[in-house]
């Protein structure tokens, strides 16, 4: 049981696949339009149950409770070795050295 007032993430379906707009790509039309919202639970709930949250902007949203204390997981992709040299190469070009004056 997740207590009221806990920071959580909910999911709700805005449009089912048959309700999507005409003219969108076929692969997009074959999937529902889903919204994820983070907020504070307004009542105790279990993961997978229907929950109501109040967002930091004061909106109230309803959906399926998915995650407790969600974090911001950011991934900028795989390591690119060339990026390590950009700063050094730019300094050479801008401030001299290597015949770039």
Question: Per the domain annotation, does 79 fall within a domain?
Answer: no
Taking the whole predicted model, whether its pTM rises above 0.75 is answered as no
| Plot region of 72 (φ>0 → left; ψ -120 to 50 → alpha; else → beta) | beta
**Is 36 contained in some domain?**
yes
- What total number of domains does the chain contain? 1
Q: Which residues, 6 or more positions from 53, have their beta carbon under 8 angstroms from its beta carbon? A: 8, 10, 37, 38, 39, 40, 41, 42, 60, 61, 63
Q: Does residue 95 belong to any structural domain of this protein?
A: no
Considering the domain boundaries, does residue 88 fall inside one?
no
CATH code of the domain in which 57 resides? 2.30.30.760
Torsion, Cα 62 63 68 69, to 10 degrees, reads -50
Distance between CA atoms of 46 and 39, rounded to whole angstroms?
A: 15
Which residue range is the domain that position 20 belongs to? 1-71
Residue-wise pLDDT tens digits, 46-82 = 999 999 999 999 999 999 999 999 998 888 889 888 8
**Within a domain: residue 93?**
no
């Amino acid at each position: 049981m997740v207590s009221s007032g806990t920071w959580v993430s909910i999911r709700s379906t805005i449009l089912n696949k048959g309700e999507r707009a005409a003219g969108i790509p076929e692969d997009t039309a074959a999937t529902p339009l889903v919204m994820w919202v983070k907020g504070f639970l307004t009542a105790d709930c279990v993961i997978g149950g229907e929950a109501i949250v109040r967002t930091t902007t004061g909106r109230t949203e309803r959906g399926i409770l998915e995650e407790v204390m969600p974090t911001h997981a950011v991934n900028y992709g795989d390591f690119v070795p060339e990026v390590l040299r950009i700063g050094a190469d730019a300094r050479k070009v801008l401030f001299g050295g290597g015949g770039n004056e």
